[in-house]
Structure 1
Amino acid sequence: MATSNTAPKIIPYNIKPTPLVPNSPKPLLLYKNCFLRDGKVDIALAYDTFTKNGWDPQWVTTYGNTQRSHYHPATHEVMVVLSGPGTIRWGTADLTDDPKKHTYGTPGSDFEDGSVFIDVEAGDLFVIPAGVTHKSFDHRAKDLDPTCLSGGGAHKIEADDPRSFVGALQLRGFTMMGAYPRGMSWGWAEGGQHVGSYEDVWRVRNADLDPVYGAEGGINVYWNRRGSSL
């Protein structure tokens, strides 16, 4: 299992469409206390669990003090917090190009109303349906932009032995690892790009296995309930 003692608790968030963002009929899923050993995330265990369940890690990123709100229109995603704390804003589009304003500004003016803010810590894991916007940031960070630690344009872990590479990383600040269903790669979309075609995003097929639980639990339960998938 994904922790040394107990199975992760799953918290679902139902995030509705906005005028600019499709979000999803499927809930965003937060799994608490994943892969923790002695208070730290076992990155190699996370890597092994994802790959065993058909989700391939493609990046490890340390977040700065802002990020553009974005979503992935053609694939689902799993992100695990390797070190923290940090903050993720879900469900809404940026309304300005000023990075400070669209991160720390006023709802309804600098970003859409209806945001869900979640403060995160090591061991928090999110399974994100295609179309759900997110922006990850650390208000304590000195660096403005995120820094990818794994190369490959954040589309692959650029190392001869990716598992050993991520397991040996020295982490600082708010850092996450992201993975995608095998054969998929992420694309970047921002608010307004799929207005009028939200259902195309909602029809992205479920992965065959949950990234943590495999064939039982997780998306097999929450994404297959009536009304949570198309």
Structure 2
Amino acid sequence: MSSIVTPLSKVKIETYYIPRHGFIPNSDPTSKPLIYYKSLFQKGASKAAIKDHINSLKVVEAQWTYTMYPTTHFHTTSHEAIIVLSGGALLLFGGESNPARVELEVKAGDALLIPAGVSHKQVKEIGLEVFDMMGAYPVNAEHWDMCYGLKEEGNTEARIKQLDWFTKDPFYGENGPAVKV
């Protein structure tokens, strides 16, 4: 395991099963929770080192660095792994009016595994440093789409149910939390 990754026995893992809300499927079609890995990467880990680690496991491949959109959205064609590279932010999962929504304050070094269908958005940046993240998607997955919980998006759950879940964790490989949920 890479020296930039906090040992699994020392990282705090939180899981959140978020029920369907309106036209946002959330965890229902996959029966998988949002997984939050607090302080997964060591302080000072470079973007290049994080990308190398993720790509070396051959579970997901890093595709972009950016911030998170301020609009609630979800994907039906792919699960998504997010790594916070710098700064901090308040993120909202599940939809703004969902009584079961989840709000997380994330910071550099944290990571999230977002099942297809789970909506997410950035509420606000926290702190002085610019909030930046890396997005990664399963190797050989269909390109990710953007859905917003609108009726006209059709049967989003049917598309999500066609996706396979991970046989290895995107950050820890064989024995990580993604294979145990």
| TM class, shorter-length | 0.7 to 0.9
State the shift of 1:40 in Å: 2.5
**Using a 3 Å threshold, how does the CA distance of structure 1 residues 195 and 116 change in structure 2: closer, same or farther?**
farther
Residues 176 and 131 of structure 1, relative CA distance in 2, 3 Å threshold: same
Contact in 2 for aligned 1:70/1:189 (Cα 8 Å): yes
- Pick from 147, 159, 171 the counterpart of residue 189 of structure 1: 147
After superposition, the Cα gap between the structure-2 partners of 1:117 and 1:30, relative to the gap in structure 1 and judged at 3 Å, is same
Q: In the alignment, what sits opposite 2:73?
A: 70
Q: Secondary structure at the match of 1:71?
A: coil
State the TM-score, normalizing by the size of structure 2.
0.83
1:52 aligns with 2:56: yes
Aligned to 2:7: 6
Shift of the alpha carbon at 1:85? 1.4
**Aligned-pair RMSD on alpha carbons?**
2.3
Structure 1: which 5+ residue stretches go unaligned? 93-106, 142-171, 223-230
Q: Which has the higher strand share?
A: 2
Q: Tell me how far apart the structure 2 counterparts of residues 11 and 112 of structure 1 sit (CA, whole Å).
A: 19
> 1:119-175, CA deviations, whole angstroms, 9 ceiling, x for partnerless residues?
11111100110110000243469xxxxxxxxxxxxxxxxxxxxxxxxxxxxxx4111
* Partner of residue 35, structure 1: 41
SS of the residue corresponding to residue 133 of structure 2 reads strand
The percent identity for this pair of structures is 32
Residue aligning to 1:136: 122
Is 1:18 the counterpart of 2:21 in the alignment?
A: yes
Higher relative contact order (CA 8 A, sep 6+): 1
Name the larger-Rg structure: 1
Greater shift, 67-76 or 45-54, is seen at 45-54
Distance 1:47 1:201, change over 3 A: same
Aligned equivalents of 1:139 and 1:4: distance in 2?
24
Please state how far the C-alpha of 1:76 moved relative to its aligned partner. 0.5
How many pairs were matched up? 171
The 3 A distance-change label for structure 1 pair 113 and 192 is farther
What is the TM-score of this pair, normalised by structure 1?
0.66
Unmatched segments (≥5 aa) in structure 2: none
